[in-house]
Structure 1
């Protein structure tokens, strides 16, 4: 796209956010469904304002989707108030590790035996499509202070965790295609790409988020400085945690998510002789009882606005790229197999023995939204050497699954969650 085209696209996104924010909240559909149709209108099928090719523009699209994921992962981390060592994390961890691994294995089997793919391409397809999406799942995720049920918390936690846990499996697929060094007998993959990537990413995120959170609270309560400009704090924490993790060859996605959680956990250290402010009064950022809460709300508010912009922009681009789906015949059986068999089965197996009610497991099994995370891993693979017929096949299957997920889960997500809420409340 030309510079005027980028400027026009950016302007359309910003104006659309302002004009449609209230309207979309009243519709029974998800905003992503509207954005997807808008992308089709703005793309080659319509007036051709958005002209991005999934293969030729892979580097640009990889950067765009990576930024969108980082913003969303940080937001999810800020929203989740459950301590890291709390037992409620068992379900998201099972989904992000056990269920996702089963999903990759099942998709790889379908790829080899149903789509005649080489093993490496099939494993890569599984890594691309296995992670659920934290960006598009905001309509069914819990808001801050409202995490009281396993289903919502599991979906939110899974969507954040598996963008980091899927990366080693994507690298495994690339390695089997001779596009990534797995090391002798796969030792480098096991040690660096899998184990260290996860452990190092979590450690980097917790360290950066905790240190910066405590520093800001200390400066505000003890020295009445470092107030305001919380937007820079949000962007700074994202950039530092991601950059630090990547420099250490660890997962930047996990680092940003856990940095958001650690920043949220920054505690106040009340000064002696001070009392909490009366209910209903403004809570100044420098009050020793309230500084961390004020900081977290300000950072989250700014980051949520960025998240909405990122969602709109990326889904518009996905809609514009749909004409590049080639030979879509396999989508008619592959998409139902993924949504109705692979995802529910992987969730049931992953949650076996976790004492989770069947109803919640079935709900989580259905609401495995695929979206921006899958597009990111697709573009990452294309930008790291996947080409030819394999590239086109991955583009077709990924864009087809993402579009179908946006539409199907966009229609069913909110009604199912409302029904679930009524049952949860005994109504």
Structure 2
């Protein structure tokens, strides 16, 4: 009976979202808002179909959140067609490294002075809340192509990079709590967690994405082999990039993002004497197999197919994770939450961090305001929260962090989701 009810509820939710997507946008609602409400209804408070206690089932929630993040990071990487050495990367890099680090510091100060946390717990809270989210931010995304909207590109790049750059600060917080080895004078943390974790993840992912992409294109164009099964290519590259990076003590999240970037930058390998089938509009009449094995179009066909599959997978990941977030809200303790913290974090600390990180840049006040506001929190914070719980933090701290993190995510889903439709109407007109 329970399986039938599950099937009915999920099926109804999916069909409803398909049929009412335009209406929801007009009502300033997002899909995540609906998923959140549905998840709460499926949780212990109502139907009781999802009863995952974050303290008891942190491993399950961590793995689900991690899988959703990997899918989204790879998808964003496939979408960002700007060359890696282009100056447009400066803004997302500053946001993901400088502004993110400042955010951790500001949250840690608020945690120590306002929430009466020990320094380790405060730094850990900063690391959990600092990353913006590529999954829930998918409604405000950069379009594919070599000349994307600057603001959308910056938001997408920040959300993809800082899920990896937040990891060292989570480990620093755990180290200050005695749950992670920081080394003498914090040297291990600086060299391994911070420097190698970041640089190694990007290098490993870029190398694997380029290598596997070129191999597939070579086999298709020269030997008519490895044609099709692009879904397996996507999942396989995600798994390999993440696994190799983790085994090398580097960031698996940054590796997967870099793999997506490198894959979509793989160049065509035209055979001598062959001719192109035409422009992108002219090739639509040809079959997938013809394009996938053609030396002038194989790379583009591969990227389009992998991207199309990952976009749909990303939507399912969003549905799954937000349902779970809604369900585990029943395990928060709002009475123990200092309600001033959430508006302080979203309205004051985030803009301060963005402004400080962008000092000396060329962004206008409008761009800074939009970037400051759309710092959406979500799946990345859930992952690091569950990771911290699994590392053995105390039950009291776990409950406090769970309440603060989940309520902050819910507030972000509601307020940022309500602003998404108006922003979509103005971003392209105001930012070139």
Shorter-chain TM-score range: over 0.9
> What is the match of residue 373 of structure 1?
380
> What is the match of residue 206 of structure 1?
206
> Does 1:196 find its partner at 2:203?
no
Change (3 A) 1:289 1:328: farther
Contact 1:14 1:309 (8 Å CA) reproduced: no
Offset of residue 379 of structure 1: 0.2
Change (3 A) 1:400 1:331: farther
* Matched residue SS, 1:198: helix
Give the unaligned 5+ runs of structure 2.
Answer: none
Contact 2:97 2:165 (8 Å CA) reproduced: yes
Match of 1:319 among 319, 322, 326: 326
**Alignment deviations for residues 128-183 of structure 1 (CA, whole Å, 9 cap, x no partner):** 00000000001011221275332111100000000000000000000000000101
Change (3 A) 1:344 1:147: farther
Give the unaligned 5+ runs of structure 1.
Answer: none
> What is the match of residue 112 of structure 1?
112
> What is the match of residue 343 of structure 1?
350
> What is the match of residue 102 of structure 2?
102
Quick one: distance in 2 between partners of 1:237 and 1:153?
23
Contact 1:344 1:365 (8 Å CA) reproduced: yes
Change (3 A) 1:286 1:11: farther
Quick one: distance in 2 between partners of 1:166 and 1:374?
10
Normalised by the size of structure 2, how large is the TM-score? 0.94
Quick one: distance in 2 between partners of 1:147 and 1:167?
31
**Alignment deviations for residues 24-55 of structure 1 (CA, whole Å, 9 cap, x no partner):** 24412211011000001111121111111111
Contact 1:13 1:313 (8 Å CA) reproduced: no
Quick one: distance in 2 between partners of 1:268 and 1:225?
16
Quick one: distance in 2 between partners of 1:295 and 1:188?
40
**Alignment deviations for residues 326-346 of structure 1 (CA, whole Å, 9 cap, x no partner):** 144634211100111000110
Contact 1:36 1:318 (8 Å CA) reproduced: yes
Offset of residue 20 of structure 1: 2.2
Contact 1:80 1:147 (8 Å CA) reproduced: no
Quick one: distance in 2 between partners of 1:22 and 1:291?
35
* Matched residue SS, 1:27: helix
Match of 2:14 among 17, 31, 46: 17
> What is the match of residue 27 of structure 1?
24
Aligned residues: 422
Quick one: distance in 1 between partners of 2:194 and 2:370?
29
Contact 1:9 1:50 (8 Å CA) reproduced: no
Normalised by the size of structure 1, how large is the TM-score? 0.95
RMSD over aligned Cα atoms: 1.7
Contact 1:39 1:319 (8 Å CA) reproduced: yes
Quick one: distance in 2 between partners of 1:148 and 1:208?
25
Quick one: distance in 2 between partners of 1:145 and 1:200?
27
Quick one: distance in 2 between partners of 1:6 and 1:239?
30
**Structure 1 moving runs of 4+ over 6 Å:** 4-8
